[in-house]
Structure 1
Amino acid sequence: MAFDDEDLRLAVYRGFAETGRAPEPRELAERFGASLETVRDGLRALADLRHVVLDDEDRVLMAHPFASIPLGFAVMGRSTLWWGGCAWDSFALAHLLPDEPDVLVSTRCPGCDRAHAWVVGRDAPPDGEQVAHFLVPVTRMWDDVVHTCGHQRLFCGERCVDVWLERSGNERGYVMDLATLWRLARGWYAGRLDRGYTRREPATAAAYLREAGLSGPFWGLPAEQG
């Protein structure tokens, strides 16, 4: 069975969407009737293009907004459970999955360990006074993607962000409310389950971030004019 890297990308993404887990390289090799090394070469090519994140054995750790490892969030649909890779990705799943009108996103505040859950849908942001804190600025997000995603978290509020920063020794990143997080997540991954998806060019990405309500050097954007 002939296949190319786009077939492989779709198999990974649609496998995640349908089952909540990433197909193993050996499963993909059996599906396409290909050698394991051919599949691994294809997965590495997808990783080079930032479509997937792999571990040392070429297993898929992340195919944004999907994750195969726990990073602080669980996302429940009608009958499928996904790991949420981060606050951004967890809020994005409801917008990407065609058969899920909404999802239940759950997590714990890193500042005080309080449990939180929201029903996230496509029509409007969920209610809540909680805030998202992103630690790693956009120019360094791909230096260590797992670290980056593991530090895009949701907190009870600014006070819990401050408590966590003092305890962890990290410097303050970017804080946004739930509505801004929802706008950021709403269309960022549009098309990833479709054939022919291409990543945004920098100018298009910058325009999207501005439209979501983000600004400043953390996002590689000019600061808001007061």
Structure 2
Amino acid sequence: MISDLDLAVRTFVYQHFVQTARPPSVAETAVHLNLPPNDIEKSYQRLHDNHFFFLEPGTLSIRMANPFSAIPTKFKVHIGKITYWANCAWDMLGIPAAMQQDATMTAIYEDSGEISKFTVKNGQLQPGEGVIHFPLPVKQWYDDLILT
């Protein structure tokens, strides 16, 4: 069951991602919330188990807090002076939507290595020449979040 603590942890994780383009560690979260690291470790695991974010297998390091990625991907989102990594094309569009900010985005096509550029202004994807393709139906995304 998700607790008020879990929701506070999740909020801090997202705030940290927005401000720094990376997730906080368990230790950083514990310091911010003035709680023992063990409490945060349990919260991270509950949040992972309930798909609030995705941990690196066998660790308590956050890999994804959708739409943000903690590791470099083929999907970059530039907002102001910060560059974020997105997990996939869907999340690339989700970052400016979640932050309600204009953005420029680049994506590298899997098959050709070609780079495509996209722009969001005033909440709208601007006309361009790129194509966004989703390799799996939405209902299968959690079958393999890394592939998706």
The answer to whether the superposition gives a TM-score over 0.5 is yes
Alpha-carbon distance between aligned partners in 2 of 1:38 and 1:109, rounded to the nearest angstrom: 41
- Asked if 1 retains the 8 angstrom alpha-carbon contact of 2:118 and 2:130, the reply is no
- Asked if 2 retains the 8 angstrom alpha-carbon contact of 1:94 and 1:122, the reply is no
Alpha-carbon distance between aligned partners in 2 of 1:72 and 1:49, rounded to the nearest angstrom: 26
Q: CA RMSD in A?
A: 1.6
Alignment of 1:21-36 (within 5 A): 21-36=22-37
1:58 is the counterpart of 2:60: yes
1:137 is the counterpart of 2:143: no
- Asked if 2 retains the 8 angstrom alpha-carbon contact of 1:95 and 1:121, the reply is no
Alignment of 1:187-198 (within 5 A): none
Offset of residue 128 of structure 1: 2.0
Letter of the 1:21 partner, please give it.
R
| Higher Cα Rg, which structure | 1
Offset of residue 69 of structure 1: 1.1
Q: How many residues align?
A: 144
Stretches of 4+ aligned residues off by more than 6 angstroms: none
Letter of the 1:111 partner, please give it.
D
Structure 1: tracts of 5 or more residues without a match: 149-226
Offset of residue 110 of structure 1: 1.8
Letter of the 2:66 partner, please give it.
H
Identity of aligned residues (%): 26
Offset of residue 137 of structure 1: 2.2
Alpha-carbon distance between aligned partners in 2 of 1:74 and 1:49, rounded to the nearest angstrom: 26
Structure 2: tracts of 5 or more residues without a match: none
- Asked if 1 retains the 8 angstrom alpha-carbon contact of 2:53 and 2:66, the reply is yes
- Asked if 2 retains the 8 angstrom alpha-carbon contact of 1:94 and 1:121, the reply is no
Q: Comparing 135-144 with 7-16, which one deviates more in the overlay?
A: 135-144
- C-alpha distance after superposition, 1:60-100 (max 9, x if no partner): 111111110122111111111101111111111111114x3
> Which residue pairs with 2:15 in the alignment?
14
> Which residue pairs with 1:84 in the alignment?
86
TM-score (norm 1): 0.60
Offset of residue 122 of structure 1: 3.5
